[in-house]
């Protein structure tokens, strides 16, 4: 069965510092991979997705992610974090079917 692991429950970074959020997946074939962000009191917003092709994917708000098949990873990165990036980040995996299988999420705190 497909599954997603986000090893870091909480991450704290200083504003302006770089960010990397880890995501590992378990799936037999090439998965569809997603990163979503959830701000307090809000629904989930898609940051970026990977289906095939170039393994480095650009998303909204300056985020990017790299698919590494050999490591079963899809880590999210941002070169310079802004205070408004503080939120909960979810990695998700899906097949060509229907639903998303989400990780437990990583809570990002941005300090001045």
Partner 1 sequence: DSGVTQTPKHLITATGQRVTLRCSPRSGDLSVYWYQQSLDQGLQFLIQYYNGEERAKGNILERFSAQQFPDLHSELNLSSLELGDSALYFCASSPTKGLTLEQYFGPGTRLTVT
Q: Which residues bind partner 1 (CB under 8 A)?
A: 32, 36, 41-46, 49, 51, 90, 94-105
SS3 at position 60: helix
Nearer to partner 1 by C-beta: 52 or 70? 52
- For residue 30, what is the DSSP state? P
- For residue 41, what is the DSSP state? T
Nearer to partner 1 by C-beta: 81 or 93? 93
Closest separation between CB of residue 14 and partner 1, Å? Answer: 28
CA 43 to chain centre: 16
Closest separation between CB of residue 72 and partner 1, Å? Answer: 18
Nearer to partner 1 by C-beta: 41 or 112? 41
Closest separation between CB of residue 29 and partner 1, Å? Answer: 13
Query: Which of 27, 16, 35 minimizes the C-alpha distance to 91?
Result: 35
Closest separation between CB of residue 17 and partner 1, Å? Answer: 27
Q: What is the CA radius of gyration of the chain?
A: 13
Q: Could you give the CA distance from residue 61 to residue 78 in angstroms, rounded to a whole number?
A: 9
Nearer to partner 1 by C-beta: 49 or 77? 49
């Amino acid at each position: 069965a497909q599954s997603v692991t986000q090893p870091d429950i909480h991450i704290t970074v200083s504003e302006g510092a770089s960010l990397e959020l880890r995501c590992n997946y378990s799936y037999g074939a090439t998965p569809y991979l997603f990163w979503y962000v959830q701000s307090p009191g809000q629904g989930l917003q898609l940051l970026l997705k990977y289906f095939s092709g170039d393994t480095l994917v650009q998303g909204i708000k300056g985020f990017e992610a790299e698919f590494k098949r050999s490591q079963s990873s899809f880590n999210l990165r941002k070169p310079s974090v802004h205070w408004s990036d503080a939120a909960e980040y979810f990695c998700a995996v899906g097949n060509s079917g229907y639903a998303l299988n989400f990780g437990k999420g990583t809570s990002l705190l941005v300090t001045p």
